[in-house]
Amino acid sequence: MHIPTLEDVRRAREVIAPYLRPTPLLAFSALSRDLDCQAYLKCENLQAVGVFKVRGGINLMATLSEDERRRGVITASTGNHGQSVAYAAKCFGVPATILVPHNPNPLKVASMQRLGAKVTEHGRDYDEARLEAERRATSEGLRYVHGSNEPLLIAGVGTVSLEIMEELADVEVIVVPIGGGSGAVGHCIVAKELNPAIQVIGVQAERAPAVYRSWREKRIVELDSTDTFAEGLATRSGYELPLRILWERLDDMLLVSEEDMGRAILYLLETTHLLAEPAGAAPTAAAFKLSERLAGKKVVLILSGGNITLEQLRAVMDSATPF
């Protein structure tokens, strides 16, 4: 598979510019004070459909041949990647089928359906839905869109990093959530190419550590199951393309607990008035664990998405304790 380059990301920005605006990079005095650093949030929760992944969807859909557009696309998702594909498919008039695991996030399913995608539940988790999507892509002649092993998606989401570097060229640390790894890979390609001294730190959920273990053990690890309320991080396997890049360029990766993410959701809501889903809050949770290491530095936390359900938010507000 082609490993995306900085030039691929720059081309992707030109492709997505007519459809998506840059998202804000915001500094908050309370966050900086509490972390003892210059802290910024890259607010991808304010992106179309509330998540960074839509950038990749637009970039991929724009490159499809007329035959591929006519036949349609199929993918699997816990919700955010599926929303990205559904949004982009609507922009280009492409039929889209999204397979989601049983008991999906209803907010994300409703969004995909409003955008015109056909949503079908299959399997107990993302990876079972993914295998079925791959089978149907072959049997039905559809363009399969892998959520991580797809260079066009990676180049698209890499535009997040390009925007950061153009606005805050002296950033020292970027902390990014990792599900399949496309977002973190974007920063490894862009930020570290423009300034190799920048540290890119990934964050996974303790209850879904497949990529964390894959990165640490230098092999692709597959888990039997995951058990996290952060569906954006709930992958059961590492994937070849992102790991090839992460093994070479990622500086560090750590795990956060369900409690850590809940506290971060509450903290962000109270101090910045920004709503984060669990995956989007993971970098803030990680930053509090890394506070000594980040002290005095210029740090960007990627608030990757804001698609949290009312049920999840109520549970967090009932149980989370302050940092």
Instruction: List per-residue pLDDT tens for the chain, 323 residues long.
Output: 799 999 999 999 999 999 999 999 999 999 999 999 999 999 999 998 999 999 999 999 999 999 999 999 999 998 899 999 999 999 999 999 999 999 999 989 999 999 999 999 999 999 999 999 999 999 999 999 999 999 999 999 999 999 999 999 999 999 999 999 999 999 999 999 999 999 999 999 999 999 999 999 999 999 999 999 999 999 999 999 999 999 999 999 999 999 999 999 999 999 999 999 999 999 999 999 999 999 999 999 999 999 999 999 999 999 988 88
Query: In terms of DSSP bridges, do strands 118-121 and 96-100 run parallel, antiparallel, or are they unpaired?
Result: parallel
DSSP state of 305: B
Count of helix runs (H) and strand runs (E) in the chain: 17, 10
Query: In terms of DSSP bridges, do strands 38-43 and 298-303 run parallel, antiparallel, or are they unpaired?
Result: parallel
Model pTM score: 0.96
User: Using CA atoms, how far apart are residues 53 and 209, in angstroms rounded to an integer?
Assistant: 20
Question: Where exactly does CATH 3.40.50.1100 map onto the chain?
Answer: 6-51+152-319, 54-149
Structure tokens of 235? 């992958």
* Beta-ladder partners of 25: 42
The catalytic residues are 53, 304
Question: Crossing angle for the helix pair 258-271 and 278-289, nearest 10 degrees?
Answer: 100
For tokens 């295998």, the residue is 131
Q: How would you classify residue 239: left for phi > 0, otherwise alpha for psi between -120 and 50, otherwise beta?
A: beta
Structure tokens of 318? 């009932």
Taking the alpha carbons of 73, 78, 88, 9 in that order, is the dihedral positive or negative?
negative
6-51+152-319: which CATH topology?
Rossmann fold (3.40.50)
Structure tokens of 134? 């791959």
pLDDT digits 0-9 by tens, 65-80: 999 999 999 999 988 9
Architecture of domain 54-149: 3-Layer(aba) Sandwich (3.40)
User: Using CA atoms, how far apart are residues 213 and 253, in angstroms rounded to an integer?
Assistant: 10
C-alpha pair distances (Å), 319 with each of 43, 173, 314: 25, 30, 9
Tell me how crowded residue 46 is: count the other CB atoms within 10 A of its CB. Answer: 16
Across the chain, mean pLDDT equals 96
Rounded to 10 degrees, what is the CA torsion of 209, 185, 76, 216? -20
User: Using CA atoms, how far apart are residues 240 and 242, in angstroms rounded to an integer?
Assistant: 6
Structure tokens of 129? 């839905």
Q: Write the DSSP string, 16-61.
A: HTTT-PPPPEEE-HHHHHHHTSEEEEEEGGGSGGGBTTHHHHHHHH
Are 95 and 73 in contact by the 8 Å Cβ rule? The answer is yes
Are 75 and 84 in contact by the 8 Å Cβ rule? The answer is no
**Three-state secondary structure call for residue 236:** coil
